[in-house]
A and B are shown apart, each in its own frame.
Chain A
């Protein structure tokens, strides 16, 4: 990685993404062992700052750090100094005084990680800032597709649903394109960002039938909590009828992804969500190894150089 921080997926070029995915493969092998821990980051300190509710991302970051033997500290927005009125800037400065190597930040506002990076010497990893970006989600999605479907080059990925409020889509579009995929956005006109074609270099459609051409259908969560009053769709019932993805809408061979958590029966049918042919469970499982790879790349892998060889990782496992 040429930069010390991972603020957006655009910080990574194709070669850097490919390297991280390869490192992820090495760590996946480690996870198949009885003892799933390596000493790679022993003595390093990682602070996870989650100002917004999260289960899978915060857990996978915590486990990723611990399985690399780093010291991991978790700070939540609630019950912390933030609740007493401290600003994000002051929190970052205070925590930086403990000399962490990495600060992982999830925040409800766009620009939080960019701002934080101005006030710390630690590497900052964006674990989701508002509707902006979620780069490690994209890396784990890329990893999952490469393992389960095949090389990204030439694939067509269609994001379906609430694009407007989705940081998963914003990082995903960029990341998938970097790896050679074609991306389209499909959803109700109220949930497609203005000028998306120009902004993101994609095709857009309001007709769900246009998923027919896609190799991967990436279903987006309806983010009701971000929509506020006014209603972006007339009703969830109608949305489910018009844009909900189910077996009937898919053709054989299409793979389905979803970053979770799922609104069952809204954007995806329960039956499809439970179908082992979808990649949803694989995505969750792959999150941890990909985050291990990102932490390794930031802290132990000098830019553009070494990857952990299989033997040394195994040989020094504790």
Chain B
């Protein structure tokens, strides 16, 4: 069984990026020099290649996003594989993994096979697909996981919904011994989160919004870590939002459980104070934006590796869906195009996170959580490269989004960091 990452065919990139700061923390590279890409591979003879002048710029291994919603099949009006992967390329991503909560749900080989075919025709960057853990993501029967794994699923997830039944989760963990693939978990105890629409805390109390308590997430993680420990499983925790969850991951890892976690740029940089404007297009997401103490715990956990990586949870919605009262709007914001700039502006430039750590958490470590190959700038590696102007000022939304949707928390905000060139899988995927 082998995971399949697919991409549209195209000519191999050949160019020299001249004079940039080349930074690959995993390969131990951090120096100002030229980077040669010849025939889609790092290194080789620079003679006769196009030269890209890049003084003051940053060259890093391209980013990997283990958590993206491409809305395909079913809601191609919000996003399709072509636009979603173009948005990814514009954000410096070279590999993204799409969630299966589509319509229909990716819960059969037929649907997965069709998506892989479309990806081969449309995808600007490498794209892989998760299949559902349970049929229809209804939390009752397991999908045909051996067959889905055979076809190339990256892993299994009911994202958008928790697997509420502990016994079903336990069986999925047992079945993992056949597939060898990770279970990617949306952690929420629905009996605690109920009809909540915002973090349960002072801001929701003031606004009269039904709360989603942080323990709704952490008790679910505690349960699944215990089940994974019992069954010897491999789990990855999606969009960690609460300090209690960070503690649960730490405790489980100390016991030897194979558990990883991701955090989104918005949970790392925003708090529930942002929802006071009651604008759901910008600030309504699940899990919700939490308190400053949670945010600080996430940043510390990302720094020390308890949270392994940044994942955008890119969730496109159109304006009509979001132009309703806050309580009635769907959850989710977009994130692929702004992820680096948000983290660069609000974490690196504030001194909260070293640039090298961010690059690693968005690249090699993000690939590692799903067992994907890490992008690398070492000689001989397939070219997965992002060329970034880290000081460029960008007002979000002033240039058209590549995504079909523009429900961004940072719309109209000035960020620093612009991706100028992305080479994914040896092919030029984005060039400003």
A-side residues, CB < 8 A to B, are 87-89, 107, 109-112, 114-115, 129-133, 167, 170, 193-196, 198-200, 228
CB of B190 within 8 A of chain A?
no
B204, B208, B323: the one within 8 Å of A133 (CB): B208
A110, A114, A115: the one within 8 Å of B208 (CB): A110
A194/B211 contact (C-beta < 8 A), A111-B327, A114-B277 known: yes
Q: What size tier do the contact residues of chain B reach? A: 20 to 34
B-side residues, CB < 8 A to A, are 194-195, 200-211, 213, 277-280, 320, 323-328
Instruction: List B contacts of A194 (CB < 8 A).
Output: 200-202, 204-205, 211, 213
Q: Check B325 against A110 for contact (C-beta < 8 Å).
A: yes
A200/B326 contact (C-beta < 8 A), A87-B320, A114-B278, A194-B200 known: no
Q: Check A115 against B205 for contact (C-beta < 8 Å).
A: no
Instruction: List B contacts of A131 (CB < 8 A).
Output: 208-210
- How far is it, in angstroms, between the C-alpha of A107 and the C-alpha of B209 when the chains are bound? 14
Nearest residue (CB) in B for A226 is B210
A107, A193, A195: the one within 8 Å of B325 (CB): A107
21 A-B pairs with CB atoms under 8 Å apart are: A87-B324, A89-B323, A89-B324, A107-B325, A109-B324, A110-B325, A114-B277, A115-B325, A131-B208, A132-B209, A133-B208, A167-B208, A170-B207, A170-B208, A193-B205, A194-B200, A194-B202, A194-B204, A194-B205, A199-B206, A228-B195
A164 nearest CB across to chain B (Å): 8
Q: Check B326 against A111 for contact (C-beta < 8 Å).
A: yes
Q: Check B206 against A170 for contact (C-beta < 8 Å).
A: yes
B194, B210, B280, B320: the one within 8 Å of A111 (CB): B280
Instruction: List A contacts of B280 (CB < 8 A).
Output: 111
Nearest residue (CB) in A for B320 is A87
Instruction: List B contacts of A167 (CB < 8 A).
Output: 208
- How far is it, in angstroms, between the C-alpha of A110 and the C-alpha of B277 when the chains are bound? 11
Q: Check B278 against A195 for contact (C-beta < 8 Å).
A: no
Nearest residue (CB) in A for B197 is A110
Q: Check B326 against A109 for contact (C-beta < 8 Å).
A: yes
A132/B207 contact (C-beta < 8 A), A111-B278, A194-B201, A198-B202 known: yes
How many pairs of A and B residues are in contact by the CB < 8 Å rule?
76
Given contacts A109-B326, A110-B278, A199-B206, 6 further A-B contacts (CB under 8 A): A110-B207, A111-B326, A130-B208, A167-B208, A194-B211, A228-B194
- How far is it, in angstroms, between the C-alpha of A114 and the C-alpha of B325 when the chains are bound? 8
Of A133, A194, A198, which is in contact with the most chain B CB atoms at under 10 Å from its CB? A194
Instruction: List A contacts of B194 (CB < 8 A).
Output: 228
- How far is it, in angstroms, between the C-alpha of A133 and the C-alpha of B328 when the chains are bound? 17
Nearest residue (CB) in B for A133 is B208
- How far is it, in angstroms, between the C-alpha of A111 and the C-alpha of B277 when the chains are bound? 9
Instruction: List A contacts of B328 (CB < 8 A).
Output: 109
Nearest residue (CB) in B for A115 is B325
Q: Check A115 against B202 for contact (C-beta < 8 Å).
A: no
Q: Check A88 against B205 for contact (C-beta < 8 Å).
A: no
Q: Check A88 against B208 for contact (C-beta < 8 Å).
A: no
Nearest residue (CB) in B for A170 is B208
Q: Check A200 against B325 for contact (C-beta < 8 Å).
A: no
A88/B211 contact (C-beta < 8 A), A115-B278, A199-B202 known: no
Instruction: List A contacts of B211 (CB < 8 A).
Output: 194
- How far is it, in angstroms, between the C-alpha of A133 and the C-alpha of B320 when the chains are bound? 25
Nearest residue (CB) in B for A113 is B325
Instruction: List A contacts of B202 (CB < 8 A).
Output: 194-196, 198-199
B189 nearest CB across to chain A (Å): 14
Q: Check B326 against A115 for contact (C-beta < 8 Å).
A: yes
Nearest residue (CB) in A for B278 is A111
Q: Check B326 against A110 for contact (C-beta < 8 Å).
A: yes
- How far is it, in angstroms, between the C-alpha of A107 and the C-alpha of B327 when the chains are bound? 11
- How far is it, in angstroms, between the C-alpha of A110 and the C-alpha of B204 when the chains are bound? 11
- How far is it, in angstroms, between the C-alpha of A107 and the C-alpha of B328 when the chains are bound? 11
- How far is it, in angstroms, between the C-alpha of A114 and the C-alpha of B326 when the chains are bound? 9
Q: Check B327 against A200 for contact (C-beta < 8 Å).
A: no
Q: Check B205 against A109 for contact (C-beta < 8 Å).
A: no
